[in-house]
Amino acid sequence: MNSLAHQPPQTARANGIDLCYEIFGNADAEPMLLIMGLGAQMIHWDDDFCRQLAARGFRVIRFDNRDIGKSSRLTGGKRLSPLELLKLRFLKIPVAAPYRLSDMAKDTIGLMDALGIASAHLVGASMGGMIAQEIAITFPQRVRSLTSIMSTTGDPKVPPPSREASAVLMAPPPATKEEYFVRFAQTWKVLRAGRFPEDEALDRSRAERTYERGLNPAGVGRQLRAILASGSRKERLASVKAPTLVIHGTVDPLVRPEGGKDTAASIPGAKLLMIEGMGHALPIPMWPQIIDAIDKHAHAAVAKAIH
C-alpha cells in the first residue's frame, strides 16, 4: 500500500442514517476524523489538505454531516426567522430544532463504529468544532486528541458575527446555478476576510463540485437550528480530558476570535494557536501552519498515551 492510498467515497449506516465518507491514507495509520462546518460538504476539507495530512501518518476520514452533500437528508424545521433570532438573543427563548449537535455527535460515533474505529483524533471546523467538542464531552474514551478550528463554546457572551458575515449566513438560497456560483465566490470573499488569489482561482471549480454533489438549503437551515438549540457547552467543556488544540484566525468575521479564546480557556490544558490574518476559512497559504500544528498535536497525544 502506498502512503497515500485513497478510497473513493462510500456510505455507512450510522446512528440510523446514511453518512457519505471518504478515506485518505493507510489502513494502519492513526485514525483522524475531519468534521466540517455549517452547510459545508466534506469536500470543503480540500483533497490536497487531506492528502497532506495523510502524508504525516494519519488515516484521514472526511464525511458529509447529516443534511448535506451525499448523506441522509432529514425533514422538518422552517427557515429561521429574524424574530426567532431576536427571541434567542434578548429573551433567551431557545430555537426549536428537529435535531441538535448531540445527535450529530452520535452520527460521528456511529461512523466510527461502522469503520471499526475505537478512538480517533478529531479535527472539527466551525460547527464541526462544536460537534467534536460535544464528542469529547460525552464520549471521552473515543477521542485521542481534539483540534477545534474557528469554533466556539456557544457562550452567548462571545461577540456575534460581523454584519457582513451574518448577511451571508441568513441570505435566501440562490435561485439558479449561475446565481449559486456568484454567491459562492461572494460568500468566501467575506469569510476569508482578505485577498487569497490561490483560493479565489479555485472558487468556480469548488462551487461546481459542490453543486454537482447536490445542494440542500433546508438542511443547512436545520443545521443552523441545531447549533442555536444546543446552547452553551462552556461549563461542560471543563470535563474534557482529551489533549486539545484550538486554532483560530485573528480576523474571523463569523466566529469571532473571542470564540476560539473562550474555547481554549474553557478546556483544561488546551493550547491556543491564533493565525494572523486568517478569517473563517482554511486558505491555502495557511495550510502548512495548520497541518503542522494538527500533526504535532496529534502525534504528541499518541506519544503521551504510550508512556
pLDDT in tens, 48-100: 999 999 999 999 999 999 999 999 999 987 777 777 777 777 777 778 889 99
Supply the DSSP string of 117-141, one letter for each residue.
Answer: -S-EEEEEETHHHHHHHHHHHH-GG
189: in domain: no
* pLDDT score of 82: 73
With beta carbons less than 8 A apart as the criterion, state whether 245 and 297 touch: yes
Residue 197 lies in a domain: no
Is pLDDT at 1 greater than 70 in this prediction?
no
Number of independent structural domains in the chain: 1
Question: Is residue 271 in a domain?
Answer: yes
How confident is the model over 10-20, as pLDDT tens digits?
999 999 999 99
User: Is 273 domain-assigned?
Assistant: yes
Look at residue 114 and tell me if it is in a domain.
yes
In the sheet that holds 271-275, the strands lie side by side as 6-14, 17-24, 58-63, 30-35, 120-125, 143-149, 244-249, 271-275
Q: 142-151, 242-251, 296-305: lowest mean pLDDT where?
A: 296-305
Q: Tell me whether residue 182 is in a domain.
A: no
CATH classification at residue 290:
3.40.50.1820
Alpha helix (H) ranges present in the chain?
Answer: 47-54, 82-86, 101-114, 127-138, 163-170, 177-192, 197-213, 217-229, 257-266, 287-306
Give per-residue pLDDT as tens, 106-162. Answer: 999 999 999 999 999 999 999 999 999 999 999 999 999 999 999 999 999 999 999
User: Residue 149 falls within a domain, yes or no?
Assistant: yes
Q: Are 92 and 224 in contact (CB under 8 A)?
A: no
Percent of the chain with pLDDT over 70: 98
In a domain, 196, yes or no: no
Residue-number span of the structural domain to which 94 is assigned: 6-162+217-306
